[in-house]
Amino acid sequence: MKRSKRDPFNRAFNKGYQAGIEEKSRSSCPHENGAARQHWINGWREGREDHWSGFNRMAQAQKISNM
């Protein structure tokens, strides 16, 4: 079994990060409430910060793989 499927909070964070770098809105979060939503929002915020800081696609991909 893949490691990402074992930890749903890590997966939510990564999906939120990807949404943030793709300039999607925070309202596009698939989780309605709970800890998974909070992890998704945290990932989204970090993705937006990286996008605004000018990280290129390679840097963003490397950061996702290191998480």
- pLDDT (tens digit per residue) in 34-60: 999 999 999 999 989 888 888 777 777
Residues 16/40, Cβ–Cβ less than 8 Å: yes
Indicate the angle between helix axes 8-21 and 35-53, nearest 10 degrees: 30
**Share of residues in the chain with pLDDT > 90 (%):** 28
What is the pTM (predicted TM-score) of this model?
Answer: 0.77
> Tokens at residue 45, please?
């915020």
Euclidean distance between CA atoms 10 and 38, whole angstroms: 11
